[in-house]
Structure 1
């Protein structure tokens, strides 16, 4: 047999082994969870739903304590064949209505001078809102189009109407692929590097089962640019929040099923919380932090939920944790309800507001804690 044929058969065998291994992994990760088919916009005894959204992936409360700002996610490669646009919108918690928010281009005061923009087409992902040391409100948005950036906006309220003025952007490193962002009051920020841009879909599936470190946290400052934060590595870093005193980061790692508390002064992990689910975004609430987790495997997601599904109904759990040691104060588990694949839980007054990366709605449930 010629060397060429031997090489060909060896390569074919290796491909077969890899394919068979992926099939075995895929089938072994399927759980026995049950889902319901959602075809309309109806609340149930567990949650109240608010529709007319498109993948409301992240939520922050505005300073008037009435409106929620919503990041309506588009899509990203490799979970989609291409990156897709999304939008930023508002939700009025008193009238229970979705609202538009005007966005205009301003001067690049808060980003890299080399980062420019001449339109307002975005593909938003994680967001954070913080009051700067000069009193102005800064919104940071992870953006995937037309290139990978962190976009900066000033939030204004003029005549009781909220609006955004673009104040600059920061271009990601060459292989940067961000998920969420946490702002400091000096305008610097931290962002989670999920995995290297260009990772294939099959590689991501394999990683979801084998759980190697795929990413870390970046810190960005105007003078030094992007710097990797020591001791922040993990498998698919996702949501990130910063404590009000800016001394600690809270980082969610999807494939590790872990939330970590990182001390920013000595760069040590002070506490961890593990769950059966996959933690997504988090929300600071005084001495507490709320973490949304998805109680399904990657196989479940592929089987039960795709882009043709109006609203995924996979189960999820919301954890209320103490910031001090990440111990559990309360947990709220949901299954076979009118929302699923929940990515964020934001407490506001007597409710907890939920968003999702796969669906047409937000939801809320009463917070009795």
Structure 2
């Protein structure tokens, strides 16, 4: 049996992926590489839950009390950018108690793949090499709770976990196409999923001029689907600038995803054909989530400004918003806005009970706010 080793995945200067990521950092706040300490004190009913590291995505767990939080742990080295070992953490929304969900300290990696959970060619359990990005919780056809996690550690992949009484159990994975840089993931029926691919690394012409491409709002990536027996496919017409957040509807017929840059918007498309059903133009969204029947978009208030976010190393005090979108028309309603002092680099808002919990790509805490 192979055992995953906790070693960072390094993007070296002569690699295509380092050039891709260097440009991505030029288009996004570079601070994700060095999350500095942020103020972690309550203000005006806004309550931080401290002691986390780059908690970029959250899911509310079915018990109505806990959250599953990603801690990606992106860093830099002498040789370039690396994804260091991170963690999935269970957080008590009421008390703030934090418990490692995967990997668990001292637990042996016992690869236990399950048929129908990911690609049978998945090389091994990710174990302590996990560096989690996007996160999605759903219920499979047999009623079992499934957690999908975008992973950047050692391999670029989507990892499959089963959520049960004993916590998270690894069940399989799907390795991403070469040179992909995945942003987020959403489950589809039958063990399938959709994922945003922020940059198309196969296009070397795009890579060579990608800084200018991003600045002009041209396409850099697209949305992919993966299904058992069918493998990876690109959704037609899904190209956009740095596609990031993604969600699916209850029957998996549609996906909603966000693109950034000058032509930032949220789109609703038909998975099978790529036909565009609706758009929310001008809306910046790092991640998307659900609040009952409404879609929630969280991100910067207006275009990203490098002179504000990134002026001081380890900080991103830019205003952010949480906006509700009608699931049919994508008509928008602004629900919450903050100047960035309570949470820097906000990415996602997740309802749990009478409060919402907000994640961040840079901070060392998540934020609890009264439910609007």
* Pairwise TM-score range, normalised by the shorter structure: 0.7 to 0.9
Deviates more, 1:91-100 or 1:57-66: 91-100
Contact 1:287–1:324 under 8 Å retained in 2: no
Q: What TM-score do the two structures reach when normalised by structure 2? A: 0.80
| Cα displacement string for residues 319-352 of structure 1 (whole angstroms, at most 9, x for unaligned residues) | 0111110112333111042212111111222222
Q: Please show how residues 11-50 of structure 1 align to structure 2 within 5 Å.
A: 40-45=39-44, 47-50=46-49
Separation in 2, partners of 1:155, 1:206: 43
How far residue 229 of structure 1 moved from its aligned partner, in angstroms, is 0.8
* Aligned counterpart, 1:167: 171
Contact 2:38–2:364 under 8 Å retained in 1: no
Separation in 2, partners of 1:364, 1:252: 24
Structure 2's unaligned 5+ residue stretches are: 1-22, 27-35, 104-108
* Aligned counterpart, 1:196: 200
Separation in 1, partners of 2:271, 2:238: 11
CA RMSD of aligned residues (A): 2.8
Q: What TM-score do the two structures reach when normalised by structure 1? A: 0.81
| Cα displacement string for residues 17-38 of structure 1 (whole angstroms, at most 9, x for unaligned residues) | xxxxx9xxx9xxxxxxxxxx97
1:331 aligns to 2:318 (yes or no)? no
1:133 aligns to 2:141 (yes or no)? yes
Contact 1:47–1:337 under 8 Å retained in 2: no
* Aligned counterpart, 1:107: 112
Within the candidate set 334, 355, 358, 2:362 is matched to 358
Q: Flag the 1:76–1:197 CA change in 2: closer, same or farther, 3 A.
A: farther
Q: Flag the 1:238–1:352 CA change in 2: closer, same or farther, 3 A.
A: same
Contact 1:59–1:69 under 8 Å retained in 2: yes
1:67 aligns to 2:66 (yes or no)? yes
For these two proteins, the number of residue pairs brought into alignment is: 327
Deviates more, 1:53-62 or 1:288-297: 288-297
Separation in 1, partners of 2:85, 2:238: 29
1:120 aligns to 2:128 (yes or no)? yes
* Aligned counterpart, 1:268: 275
How far residue 312 of structure 1 moved from its aligned partner, in angstroms, is 3.1
Structure 1's unaligned 5+ residue stretches are: 1-21, 27-36
Q: Flag the 1:105–1:343 CA change in 2: closer, same or farther, 3 A.
A: farther
